[in-house]
Amino acid sequence: MRWKFVIPSFIIVAAMIAVTVLFLDTFIRKALVAGGEKAFGAKVEIAGVKTRLRNMSVSISGVAVADKDNEWRNVFEAESLRFSMEPLPLLSKKVIINEMSVAGIRWGTQRATSGALPPRKLKKIAAAGRKEDENSATARLLNRLKEKGKEELASLPALQTIQNAQSGIKDLSVGKVVASLDLQSPAEIEKIKSDISARSEQFSKTLEGLQVNEKAAKAGALLNELKDVRIQNLSDIERTRSKIDELNRTKNELEQSYKDIQSLQSQVSSAFSDSKNILARLEEAKDRDFQSLMAKMQLPSFSYSNIAQGIFGPMWINRANSVIHYIHIARKYMPARSKKDKKATRPRLRGIDVSFPRENALPSFLIRTVSLSGSTGGPGKTGEALDFKGIAGNITSDPVLLGKPLTATIDGIQGSKRLALSAELDHTTIDTTDRIDISYSGLPVKDFNLPSSEYLPAFNEGTVAIESSFTLKSSATVDCYMDAVLSGIGVYSGSASNEINKIVAQLWEGVTEIRIHSGLAGSMDNPALSVSSNLDDILSSKIKNLYGEKLAEVQNEARTEIDRLTAEKKQELLAQAAATKETILNQVMANQKEIRYTMDALANKKEEIENQIRSRADEEKKKAEEELKKKAVDQLQNLFK
């Protein structure tokens, strides 16, 4: 045996195996990081990789993929990935995974460190990507979306033009206009006073109609009649029975009157509960006076059209761009081809590889099923996190050979929050069809990532409901839409640092719901963008009223003048209402107290008489029993005489 050859060869092979076993996890982690950074154009971090050759299993932990458009945010996170590979296909250079689990999925989370790649590395990846995507329809679509995003940002006029419109209002004299008006506020105050007097008189008549004094006097007379009642024998019980019946009837009448007075007391308290109703009527009259004043002022024409597209267009493009980017990656690594196309051959020094078609052949890479679980929470997120679960399947490098489309579903529900996602990427023929549907309700408005625009304030509350669909057919058409409803929104009430901030605050005052419909449809080379919203009408109307500082001064001066003309009478009105309420309630409570006292007296007298009747009945019963015993004894004695 040629030991000089065998021993060194054995040592080399053993060393290679040892290096592979010792450093396999490191090799895999670096390969995954490199591939991920190439696909996503941002940092990919993996905390650890653990392989077990015994069962060909791999466990990956701490996966984080940065967002290439926001270096301080992760586009994807996963706590762990676990799978096992079938050993036999590995001999044919094929990776076949029957089941994989991905747990702890999160997205859009905040990063502690920058996720941007070094400029040189990023440039290298971008150059390679441009070369690979040279003939890609989705790559051309993504580039077109970037151009449209810049166009939308440039289409919205600056708020500075609204501020410049301040000079359009001059020489407005509040005093002259107010003097020419027939103010309704003073007349309304007099009408409210009259209503208070009428209401007071009505309550007084109602109280008189209850005839509390008459009923109390009647009950008092009955109590006097029963004052000296003594039950000494059975005949007294019979004579007193009619008085007891009368006492019960009187007591019932008083109880009903007591209930009527309680109801009247509630009515009085409600009618004069506080000054809100009175002030509301007065404010309505003052508002009518103010509107009459504004109608006499001629305002310049000022409006914008399609504000929503300028504000939300870039946001919609970014949303569509993100989803289409994932479809682009899927098309890149799961390419479609005609079934007649042969696999590419690789020339070698001696001969070439020839692929022979076999029935039920497996692709080079296949994941049959992936179980998914995760949460919508994480660093930088607000509100309660929503846990979700899902499943994906048929992830392969050769969809045509597999003959099945990639499918995925995710669903999670918790209280008012719900997330549902379904996807089908069909690359089994050259005519590919990719569709992703996303539904999400209960999303905190802070997590909706609204665009940065001088038109938008900071929202501190509210939720978003989203319905969206993204469909790409072959390399020809795109059909995407997103319907979003922002409800219960509240605007952060911070101090306005400049005039622009003041204008924004006034624009959004009172707006509690925003409805947005966004669409992207047509050919991939030139898709049509559409965005519509109820904000077009709301903001256009409000902008018309924001003509600057002079108009604000005129409005404030007008309201101040109207308030001055009504302030003294308003205080008189509130004092009258309070005094009327106190007077009526005192009367009601006095009658209530009298009835309560009389009812208690009747109840005590009834109890007293009933106790006498029971006592007399017991005595008569005992007396009858004694007489019966005596007769029995006498009869027994007669028997023995």
Rounded Cα distance, 63 and 170, in Å: 63
The residue with greater pLDDT, 527 or 147, is 527
* Residue 576 main-chain phi, psi, to 5 deg: -60, -45
Beta bridge partners of 421: 410, 438
What Å distances lie between residue 209 and 5, 192, 213, CA to CA? 126, 26, 10
CA distance 482 to 443: 15
Confidence of residue 291 (pLDDT cuts 50, 70, 90): confident
Q: How confident is the model at residue 333 (pLDDT cuts 50, 70, 90)?
A: confident
**Higher pLDDT, residue 519 or 144:** 519
Q: Which helix (H) or strand (E) holds 58?
A: strand 57-67
Mean predicted lDDT score pLDDT of the chain: 77
Residue given tokens 């106190």 in the structure block: 582
Kindly tell me if the per-residue pLDDT of 187 is higher than 80: no
d(Cα 306, Cα 516) in Å, to the nearest integer? Answer: 12
Name which of 579, 574, 581, 571 is nearest 270 in CA terms. 581
- Percent of the chain predicted with pLDDT > 90: 17
pLDDT of residue 36: 85
CA end-to-end span of the chain = 151
SS3 at position 157 = coil
Give the dihedral of Cα atoms 7, 12, 14, 17; nearest 10 deg.
-160
Q: Which of 74, 77, 62 is nearest to 113 (CA)?
A: 74
- Confidence class for position 168, pLDDT limits 50, 70, 90: very low
Cα–Cα distance for residue pair 376/383, rounded to 1 Å = 10
CA distances from 305 to 8, 260, 311, 521 (A): 82, 61, 12, 22
The answer to whether 533 and 308 have CB atoms below 8 angstroms apart is yes
Closest C-alpha among 568, 564, 559, 566 to residue 293 = 559
Flag whether the pTM goes above 0.75: no
C-alpha distance from residue 485 to each of 122, 366, 381, 443, 448 (Å): 37, 39, 19, 10, 11
Of 153, 81, 115, nearest in space to 380 by CA: 115
**Stronger pLDDT, 137 or 447, i.e. the higher one:** 447
For residue 538, the number of C-alpha atoms closer than 13 Å in the C-beta half-sphere is 18
Asked whether residue 339 carries a pLDDT value surpassing 90, the answer given is no
Under DSSP, the state recorded for 396 is E
Position with higher pLDDT, 328 vs 616:
328
Using pLDDT thresholds of 50, 70 and 90, give the confidence band for residue 634. low
Distance CA 384, CA 414 (A): 9
Amino acid 62: pLDDT = 92
Most confident of 87-101, 271-285, 454-468, 599-613: 87-101
Q: Read out DSSP for 95-143?
A: EEEEEEEEEEEB-SEEPSS--PPPHHHHHHHHHHHHHHTTT-HHHHHHH
Mean pLDDT of 529-549: 75
Does a structural domain hold residue 104?
A: no
Q: Could you list the residue range(s) of the whole structural domain that residue 572 is in?
A: 172-297+553-638
pLDDT-based confidence at 130, cuts 50/70/90?
low
User: Helix-strand-coil percent breakdown of the chain, rounded to 5?
Assistant: 50, 25, 25
* Amino acid in position 100: M
Q: Would you say residue 537 lies in a domain?
A: no
Structural domain total, the chain: 1
Question: Parallel, antiparallel, or unpaired: how do β-strands 417-426 and 433-444 relate?
Answer: antiparallel
Q: Please report the pLDDT score of residue 526 as a whole number.
A: 83
Q: Is the distance from CB of 326 to CB of 406 less than 8 angstroms?
A: no
Query: Cα(423)–Cα(469) distance, rounded to whole angstroms?
Result: 10
Confidence of residue 236 (pLDDT cuts 50, 70, 90): low
**pLDDT higher than 70, residue 580:** yes
* Residues in CB range of 303: below 8 A, 6 or more apart: 540, 543, 544
Is residue 518 one of the residues assigned to a domain? no
Q: Is residue 140 part of a domain?
A: no
91: tokens are 């001999």
In 3D, which of 347, 368, 375, 343 has the Cα closest to residue 356?
343
**pLDDT at position 467 over 50:** yes
> What is the per-residue pLDDT across 6-50, written as a single tens digit (0 to 9) for each?
555 555 555 555 545 555 788 888 888 888 888 888 899 999 999
